């Protein structure tokens, strides 16, 4: 028997006091713990901090074994790694028997770090191994995802959450230096979503920058590509490598990948009840993503972490046709009454028009069909689209396009195509009441700035330009006007 390998050195651990002391307590009573959480959240950091705790050290001494499982493809390879960590000869028929025999004699703590890799490939054998180890020693397992593996129950389960902004700041300043405690730091850290790996790599990226502002600019243009150091070829050196490992996880299904691609385009996620509308097997895909720690539920919506979203949106965006198919269903929901009115038209339309209308409660878009009734043009209202701020707005993350206008444009175009007639939507981007109707279109004059057709009846303080362009010019003027001297 050789010497057991050294534990890797501890790293600084911030913001985990209560969860760390719970893991330490469990180790001291020789109970097993499984630490779960999304990629880069600090599972390994926490297990190492617990193993290095002075009381744990006093209890187990050198019999604290740290087994890296990220390179193991099955249970036998985990056993080989364990034997190496314990200093047992790797040759021999019954390596597991030899490990268990040795573990039984004196209290030992075995940490299987990143056990998700072998477990996702060789689940049953790994669970059998976890069971054996739990009976003979204290086991501390860290795994990506939120799924408790079999074999270790009953176990203390720890699910790691994001770091608070305060802790993220402490971690950042520890790595970057206190002088970067500047107002621009909080919003930048906020975008890291409390992921320690990202915070650490962001602090590192600062080394090549002249200031926090230039780092923030780089982050805005390059996003997760900034979050790497050195060769960036290991999950600890690059957020993208870390996330790609989860994307390729053996337990990811192709529909889970599709759903994650869709979620990457939905900053506020999707209402859980609509997940199956996004994808036929959406419920199953959502459950895979939750178990892998790649999506979570919040206030009735399925969402993903902002960094995962940024990465997947760039590396694995949904195909345009797939995306269009998925959101068409959502556009259909609020436009349903309009489509029904169009289907019930008895006179053939000659055009479909969409016009803004507003009052003190907000803007909306009227959709109408211009029909020929007894040979004369007449208007048939198809419906009013307003207040669609809910789910559809989230497909855009911002306005414009206004969700009401987007739905109106989609439904109007579809109805017009159906009847093979023109679709008239003179102000498709911004709300504007002073546009000519389809039958008056020859009377319109283009806005002097953006060119949309206008029909401004009576006196108008911004004659010749549309309301939006008028607002924009007023804003510019205000910006140029110096504040009054005191
Ligand atoms: N609470 C923390 N305080 C300080 N640094 C931390 C903390 N948590 C994690 N880190 C640092 O962030 C990096 C990523 O953490 P860690 O490797 O523990 O994450 P992980 O959840 O194990 O990731 P993976 O899912 O890839 O296994 C490491 O360099 C780690 O030291
Ligand atoms: Mg880890």
In this prediction, residue 400 carries a pLDDT of 66
Angle, alpha carbons 325-326-332 (nearest 5°): 85
Mean pLDDT of 99-114: 95
Peptide bond into 107 cis (omega under 30): no
CA of 43 to the centre of ligand 1 (A): 6
Q: What angle separates helix 123-136 from helix 75-86, to the nearest 10 degrees?
A: 30
| Atom in ligand 1 nearest the alpha carbon of residue 235 | 26
Terminal Cα-to-Cα distance of the chain (whole angstroms):
83
Q: What is the pLDDT of residues 109-159, one digit of tens each?
A: 999 999 999 999 999 999 999 999 999 999 999 999 999 998 887 779 999
Identify the three-state secondary structure at position 103. Answer: helix
CA of 42 to the centre of ligand 2 (A): 7
Which residues, judged by CB distance below 6 Å to any ligand atom, belong to the binding site of ligand 1?
11-16, 37, 39-45, 114, 142, 144, 171, 196-197, 200, 235-236, 242
Name the CA radius of gyration of the chain, rounded: 30
Q: What is the pLDDT of residues 58-92, one digit of tens each?
A: 999 999 999 999 999 999 999 999 999 999 976 66
CA of 206 to the centre of ligand 1 (A): 19
CA of 116 to the centre of ligand 2 (A): 9
Which residue, judged by its Cα, is nearest atom 2 of ligand 1?
A: 13
CA of 45 to the centre of ligand 1 (A): 5
Confidence class for position 97, pLDDT limits 50, 70, 90: very high
Mean pLDDT of 93-118: 94
Q: Is the separation of the CB atoms in 243 and 293 below 8 Å?
A: no
Q: What is the pLDDT of residues 257-290, one digit of tens each?
A: 999 999 998 877 888 888 888 888 999 999 999 9
Which residue, judged by its Cα, is nearest atom 8 of ligand 1?
A: 42
Mean pLDDT of 429-452: 93
| pLDDT at residue 391 tops 50 | no
Which residues neighbour 58 within 8 Å (Cβ) at sequence distance 6 or greater? none
Q: In whole angstroms, what is the distance from residue 400 CA to residue 204 CA?
A: 36
| Atom in ligand 1 nearest the alpha carbon of residue 246 | 25
CA of 184 to the centre of ligand 2 (A): 30
Q: Count of CB atoms within 10 A of residue 250's CB?
A: 13
CA of 39 to the centre of ligand 2 (A): 8
Which residue, judged by its Cα, is nearest atom 28 of ligand 1?
A: 197
* Closest to 117 in 3D by CA, of 201, 213, 235, 232: 235
Which residue, judged by its Cα, is nearest atom 12 of ligand 1?
A: 197
Q: Which ligand is nearest to the CA of 15?
A: 1
Q: In whole angstroms, what is the distance from residue 293 CA to residue 247 CA?
A: 11
User: SS3 string of 22-75?
Assistant: HHHHHHHCCCCEEEEECCCCCHHHHHHHHHCCHHHHHHHCCCEEEEECCCCCCH
Greatest alpha-carbon pair distance for the chain in Å reads 101
CA of 41 to the centre of ligand 1 (A): 6
| pLDDT at residue 196 tops 70 | yes
* Closest to 308 in 3D by CA, of 259, 377, 368: 259
Mean pLDDT of 355-377: 88
Mean pLDDT of 230-246: 91
Q: Is the separation of the CB atoms in 162 and 142 below 8 Å?
A: no
In this prediction, residue 484 carries a pLDDT of 55
The residue whose CB lies within 8 Å of the most ligand 1 atoms, and thus the one to mutate among 196, 201, 233, is 196
| Atom in ligand 1 nearest the alpha carbon of residue 70 | 27
| Atom in ligand 1 nearest the alpha carbon of residue 174 | 4
Q: Which ligand is nearest to the CA of 145?
A: 1
Please report, for residues 39, 235, 255, 396, the alpha-carbon distance to residue 147 in angstroms, rounded to integers and kept in the order given: 14, 21, 19, 32
* Closest to 407 in 3D by CA, of 424, 387, 422, 426: 387
| Atom in ligand 1 nearest the alpha carbon of residue 245 | 26
* Closest to 382 in 3D by CA, of 424, 347, 354: 354
Phi, psi of 378 (to 5 degrees): -145, 160
Confidence class for position 335, pLDDT limits 50, 70, 90: confident
Q: Which residue's structure tokens are 């730091």?
A: 185
In this prediction, residue 111 carries a pLDDT of 98
Which residue, judged by its Cα, is nearest atom 18 of ligand 1?
A: 42
CA of 166 to the centre of ligand 1 (A): 17
Burial 89-120 (b: 16+ CB within 10 A, else e): eeeeeebbebbbebbeeeebbbbbbbbbbbbb
Least confident of 37-41, 193-197, 206-210, 426-430: 206-210
Identify the three-state secondary structure at position 484. Answer: coil
Q: Which ligand is nearest to the CA of 294?
A: 1
| Atom in ligand 1 nearest the alpha carbon of residue 15 | 1
Instruction: Give me 181's structure tokens.
Output: 């405690």
Least confident of 33-47, 110-124, 404-418: 404-418
Q: What is the mean pLDDT of the chain?
A: 90
Q: In whole angstroms, what is the distance from residue 212 CA to residue 473 CA?
A: 32
Helix, strand, coil shares, percent, the chain, to 5: 50, 15, 35
Q: Count of CB atoms within 10 A of residue 314's CB?
A: 14
Q: Which ligand is nearest to the CA of 243?
A: 1
Q: Is the separation of the CB atoms in 199 and 205 below 8 Å?
A: no
In DSSP notation, 151-177 reads: TS-S-EEEEPPPPPHHHHHHHHHHHH-
CA of 38 to the centre of ligand 2 (A): 10
In DSSP notation, 294-347 reads: S-EEETTEEE--HHHHHHHHHHSPPPHHHHHHHHHHHHHHHHHHHHHHHHT--S
């Amino acid at each position: 028997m050789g010497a057991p390998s050294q534990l890797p050195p501890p790293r600084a651990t911030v913001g985990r006091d209560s969860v760390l002391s719970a893991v330490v307590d469990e180790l001291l009573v020789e109970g097993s713990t499984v630490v779960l959480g999304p990629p880069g959240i600090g599972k390994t950091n926490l297990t190492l901090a617990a193993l290095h705790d002075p009381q744990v050290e006093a209890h187990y001494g050198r019999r604290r074994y740290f087994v890296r499982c990220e390179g193991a493809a099955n249970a036998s390879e985990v056993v080989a790694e364990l034997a190496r960590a314990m200093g047992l000869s790797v040759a021999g028929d019954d390596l597991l028997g030899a490990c268990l025999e040795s573990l039984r004699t004196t209290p030992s703590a075995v940490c299987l770090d990143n056990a998700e890799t072998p477990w996702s490939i060789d689940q049953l054998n790994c669970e059998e191994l976890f069971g054996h180890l739990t009976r003979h020693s204290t086991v501390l397992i860290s795994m990506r995802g939120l799924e408790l593996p079999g074999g270790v129950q009953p176990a203390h389960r720890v699910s790691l959450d994001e770091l608070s902004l305060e802790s993220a700041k402490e971690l950042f300043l520890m790595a970057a230096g206190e002088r970067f405690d500047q107002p621009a730091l909080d919003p930048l850290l906020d975008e890291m979503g409390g992921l320690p790996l990202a915070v650490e790599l962001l602090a590192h990226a600062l080394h090549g920058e002249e200031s926090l502002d230039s780092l923030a600019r780089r982050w805005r243009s390059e996003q997760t590509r900034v979050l790497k150091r050195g060769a960036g070829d290991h999950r600890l050196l690059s957020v993208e490598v870390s996330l790609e490992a989860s994307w390729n996880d053996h337990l990811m299904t192709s529909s889970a990948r599709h759903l994650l691609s869709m979620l990457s385009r939905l900053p506020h996620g999707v209402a859980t009840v609509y997940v199956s509308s996004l994808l036929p097997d959406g419920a199953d895909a959502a459950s895979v993503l939750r178990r892998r720690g790649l999506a979570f539920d919040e206030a009735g919506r399925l969402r993903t972490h902002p960094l995962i979203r940024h990465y997947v949106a760039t590396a694995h965006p949904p195909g345009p046709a797939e995306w269009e198919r998925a959101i068409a269903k959502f556009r259909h929901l609020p436009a349903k009454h309009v489509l029904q009115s169009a289907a019930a038209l008895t006179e053939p339309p000659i055009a479909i028009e969409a016009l803004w209308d507003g009052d003190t409660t907000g803007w909306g878009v009227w959709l109408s069909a211009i029909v020929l009734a007894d040979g004369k043009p007449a208007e048939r209202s198809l419906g009013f689209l307003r207040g669609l701020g809910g789910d559809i707005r989230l497909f855009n993350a911002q306005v414009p396009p206004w969700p009401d206008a987007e739905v109106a444009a989609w439904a109007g175009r579809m109805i017009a195509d159906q009847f093979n007639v023109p679709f008239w939507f003179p102000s498709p981007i911004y709300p504007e009441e002073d546009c000519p109707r389809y039958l008056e279109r020859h009377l319109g004059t283009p806005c002097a700035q953006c060119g949309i057709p206008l029909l401004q009846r009576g006196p108008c303080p911004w004659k010749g330009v549309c309301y939006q362009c008028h607002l924009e010019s007023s804003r510019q003027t205000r910006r140029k006007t110096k504040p009054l001297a005191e």
